[in-house]
Amino acid sequence: MIEGMVMAKILGIIGGGQLGMMITEAAKKMPEHISKVIVLDPTENCPASQVGAEQIMADFKDKNAIIDLANKSDIITYEIESGDSTVLKSVEKNAEINPSPETLRVIQDKFLQKSFLKENNIPVSEFIEIETIKDLENGLKDFGYPVLLKARRDAYDGRGNFKISSEKDVGKAFDYFKGQKLFLEKFIQFKMEVSVIASRNTKGQIKTYPLVENIHEENILRETIAPARVSREITKKAERIAERTMRVLRGAGIFGIEMFVTQNDEILINEIAPRVHNSGHHTLQSSKTSQFEQHLRAILGLDLGDTELIHPTIMYNILGDTSFEGKYLPLKISEENIFLKMYGKEISKPLRKLGHVNLVSKEGESIEQLLKKLESLKEKITIKPS
Ligand code: ATP
Ligand code: MG
Give the CATH number for residue 317: 3.30.470.20
Across the chain, what does the average pLDDT equal?
95
Per-residue confidence at 155, pLDDT binned at 50, 70, 90? confident
CA of 156 to the centre of ligand 2 (A): 7
Output the CA–CA distances (angstroms, integers) from residue 8 to 2, 11, 18, 199, 368, in the order listed: 13, 9, 24, 22, 44
- Note whether 176 and 196 are same-domain residues: no
In 3D, which of 83, 52, 82 has the Cα closest to residue 70? 83
Burial 280-295 (b: 16+ CB within 10 A, else e): bbbbbbbbebbbbbbb
Domain boundary among 138, 164, 186: 186
Closest protein CA for atom 12 of ligand 1: 158
Q: What residues make up the domain containing 146?
A: 126-186
Asked if pLDDT for residue 27 goes beyond 90, the answer is yes
Which residues have CB atoms below 5 A from the ion given as ligand 2? 258, 271
Residue 31 is classified by DSSP as: T
Q: What is the pLDDT of residues 175-228, one digit of tens each?
A: 999 889 999 999 999 999 999 999 999 999 999 999 999 999 988 999 999 999
CA of 258 to the centre of ligand 1 (A): 9
Choose which residue among 118, 124, 189, 219 to substitute to test ligand 1 binding: the one with the highest number of ligand atoms within 8 A of its C-beta.
219
Ligand 1 atom with minimal separation from the 273 CA: 4
Overall domain count for the chain: 3
Ligand nearest to the CA of 184: 1
Closest protein CA for atom 23 of ligand 1: 270
- Note whether 131 and 55 are same-domain residues: no
Closest protein CA for atom 27 of ligand 1: 187
- Note whether 346 and 252 are same-domain residues: yes
Question: 20 with 53: CB under 8 angstroms?
Answer: yes
Ligand 1 atom with minimal separation from the 220 CA: 3
Cβ neighbours of residue 15 closer than 8 Å, sequence gap 6 or more: 39, 40, 41, 60, 78, 79, 80
Ligand 1 atom with minimal separation from the 155 CA: 6
In 3D, which of 256, 257, 246, 248 has the Cα closest to residue 206? 246
- pLDDT in the model for residue 3: 55
- Note whether 226 and 140 are same-domain residues: no
- Domain CATH number, residue 134: 3.30.1490.20
Q: What is the pLDDT of residues 353-376, one digit of tens each?
A: 999 999 999 889 999 999 999 999
Question: 71 with 90: CB under 8 angstroms?
Answer: no
CA of 144 to the centre of ligand 2 (A): 23
Per-residue confidence at 102, pLDDT binned at 50, 70, 90? very high
In 3D, which of 36, 52, 40 has the Cα closest to residue 16? 40
Q: What is the pLDDT of residues 123-143, one digit of tens each?
A: 999 999 999 999 999 999 999
Q: Which residues line ligand 1 (CB under 6 A)?
A: 125, 148, 155-161, 185, 187-188, 193, 216, 219, 221, 258, 270-271
Q: SS3 of 1, please?
A: coil
Residue 381 is classified by DSSP as: G
Where do the DSSP E strands lie in the chain? 9-14, 34-40, 54-56, 75-78, 96-97, 127-130, 147-151, 161-164, 182-186, 192-200, 206-208, 212-217, 220-226, 253-261, 267-273, 313-319, 326-327, 338-342, 347-348, 353-360
- pLDDT in the model for residue 158: 78
CA of 163 to the centre of ligand 1 (A): 10
